Amino acid sequence: MNQKIKKASPSIDEWLKEAKKDPKASKVGMFLVHNGTVRETPKAKVRLGVDDGSTVKKMEFSFDEEKVNAAIEETYKMDGIFYIKVWLNEGLLDVGDDIMYVLIGGDIRPHVIDGLQFLVEKIKTECVTEIEQKN
């Protein structure tokens, strides 16, 4: 992986102000934000229950922008989804650093929750590379 420098995190307040000025904002009844961060507990322990006694010290993070854009377009096809904004970090990240922000707006809560879950899952499983550096 080429050594990219991690980015400064965006302002969610600014994102929401921008979203509420969007031409489709009058159709939105709810916004949800996802903020993924680097945790010290390895993915294998959290997801699979495999505990090798290690902890995460850093994470190498990268993403495929074309795949992310395709995932966003696919999410827009879901019922009631009218606004999406995604920010992904990159480079060598420390525990506590932001990995991603996803803002999604839609008409009703079930649509927005489904849209957020779909998009975050798609990004995490198809668009990003996360390499944990453990102790």
CATH of the domain at 93: 3.90.1170.40
Tokens representing 81 are 């989804």
pLDDT at 1 over 60: no
- Cβ atoms of 61 and 49 within 8 Å: the answer is no
What confidence tens digit (pLDDT) does each residue in 57-116 have? 999 999 999 999 999 999 999 999 999 999 999 999 999 999 999 999 999 999 999 999
7 lies in some domain: no
Residue 43's domain spans which residues? 12-134
pLDDT at 4 over 90: no
pLDDT at residue number 2 = 52
For the chain, percent of residues with pLDDT exceeding 70: 98
Handedness of CA 103, 104, 109, 114 (dihedral sign): negative
Domain count of the fold of the chain: 1
- State the burial class of residue 78 (Cβ atoms within 10 Å of its Cβ: 0-12, 13-18, 19+): middle
Q: Which residue matches tokens 């934000």?
A: 33
Q: Which distant-in-sequence residues (6+ apart) come within 8 Å of 29 by Cβ?
A: 106, 107, 108
3 lies in some domain: no
98 lies in some domain: yes
89 lies in some domain: yes
128 lies in some domain: yes
> Average model confidence (pLDDT) for the chain?
95
Model-level pTM greater than 0.75? yes
- Cβ atoms of 115 and 75 within 8 Å: the answer is yes
pLDDT at residue number 5 = 83
5 lies in some domain: no
The residue-averaged pLDDT of 20-40 equals: 98
6 lies in some domain: no
